Structure 1
Amino acid sequence: MSTALVTGGTGFIGIYVIKLLLERGDRVHTTVRDLKDQKKCQPLLSLQNAYPGKLHLFQADLLKEGSFAQAMQGCDIVHHVASPFLVPQQIKDGMKDIVEPAIKGTQNVLNTANETESVKRIVLTSSIAAMYGDSADILHYYNATLTESHWNTTSTTTSSAYSYSKVAAEREAWKICHAQSRWDLIAINPGLVIGRSLTPASASGSLHMLGAMYKGDNKMGAPELHYPIADVREVAEAHVRAGVDAAAKGRYIVASERSVSQLEMANLVRPYHKKPDVLPKKNLPKVMIYLAGPFMGVSMKWVSRNIGIGYKVDNRRSVEELGIVYRSKAETMRDHYNAWVEAGGK
């Protein structure tokens, strides 16, 4: 039986990791930003009741040095899932608003691990955004396929600040890891994480994006952006297995083998959407996105390098080494939509 710390316990991925660990019989420590926030903490309190004495909650702030020390005491595995999140419209200064907090949060958690003798392994939630900047980048990779060997070298703080924050934070994690020898590091690099949420308080970017589509924000047409999707349950399973499998190492892509467009996602949901007419029935012409780009905060270069470009993903390591069995996209989209409806989506 292990004792694991899960940062970001109220998050979309974090609470699934906690649930799987508890089902395994492990002891779990988790951190939240505010223990007084009943809405966010309620799902965790329910798990506490279901697994008496197994789940312990602590308050911690990613940006506050030393705030994870108490929660990490006695833990041999750390699942660092927490990450600063802002929707693009909230990012005014890429470096200040999202890049620096992402790096600082990684430093705080991993430096605390350096001071906690019990820690033997850290499993980090990164992203495929740490592996490429624009979709066009992947077209130049071998076989036009994204693999764990790739790193994002094109995003900047002013262009795709979120993606830049992911690669900067993961590189910082590997730097800290390589400077010591007591604990090892594994990175989980998921695609667009969707599926059924266990907490109504989640601020996941995928929930925000797809919720807008379900409500009809893309009724006139969807921008032809492509994403390799990952079911949140697969991401959590990868986290847990990477934490306990002694042979696990390096980076693991957790995502579908082929990227899908927003229109494809809409078509998967259409058969059971309560108001299917609000879903997009076509892709927006690229020329329209070029014209609207300046008002949406995206450049012509970004449009040319991302709109209409699909790609392949090599997820074999997650299948062969971690034993991940990927659900169908239809199942994941159905579960995601049903959870949105149950949470009050209209």
Structure 2
Amino acid sequence: MAAFDAEPEESDSEELFEHYSFTAGGGQDPLRVDKFLMNLIRNATRNKIQQAAKAGNIRVNEQTVKQNYRVKAGDTVRVLFEHPPYEYLLTPEPIPLDIIYEDASLLVVNKAAGMVVHPGHGNYSGTLVNALAHHLGDMPMNSSNRPGLVHRIDKDTSGLLVIAKTDHAMAHLAQQFFDKTTQREYVALVWGNVADDAGRIEGHIGRNPKNRLQMQVFPEADQGKEAVTHYEVLERLGYVTLVRCRLETGRTHQIRVHMKYIGHTLFNDARYGGDRILKGTTFTKYKQFVENAFQLLPRQALHARTLGFVHPESGEHLFFEAPIPQDMAACIEKWRGYARHLSAE
């Protein structure tokens, strides 16, 4: 398993199933294993991790360890239990789907913000995959044993996803994503006035060694994975800018990380610090204005607006577009009003 990859998989053991596996990076300072795992596993408590250690469910380099073991660079930490990971116990649920297109090979959905794409720790129901299991029944598995999924978008990002319904469609579509021949355009509202009208951001992306729930850009090419984002300014709105971003690669949190890297964190992106005032004045009225904008859009301002690919059976080029959802549109309009007020002063 790749370093810092939290994808669960079944253990080789007949009695225990692997739920998590992490490999500490080269910059890892010695750290107690319970604290190490708390930084990596969402919704985990120290008490639960310590209980797992006492039960002999935590192994480092295939040796059972106690909770006070200090993880060092290069250590592989595994968490195993007697039951399979809950995400393998997939329950079909009659959750409404916004289906943009569907045929015998695939479907395209417009995912609402707030919906988790696939089951995982802390989210075992109510996900897009639960809804797809009800809508489709059997689905082909991808390379990470995720049924139907060719690609993913974050929980609080809205927009378009293509879902494979056959093994052939899965392989064909996955190859297109690997070859970077798909067309994906996002719309984002970012803090600050972006200086250039258009640009290209290139920087390897990997997990932040100090906070495993974040990704970051690494200056050295031997860290992280290659990532390229192209952006273009759509509208300047005073202390924020509306941009569109075209992905050349598809790394975790790519747009969120790349825009922060160039000094323009996404508006209300709590994980990367965009949920506080990063640009603007110190006036009380302005602070209240921003708080109201946060309430209108209680998530990061990011929407997967377009998606284009070649149909795996017909060879036809398909292209889809999903309008900006109401919460993000309302926030943008609020900033437009503020920008008009600024220009009139």
TM-score bracket for this pair, using the shorter chain length: under 0.3
Structure with higher helix content: 1
Higher relative contact order (CA 8 A, sep 6+): 1
- Given the two structures, how large is their TM-score scaled by the length of structure 2? 0.27
Q: Structure 1 length as normaliser, TM-score?
A: 0.27
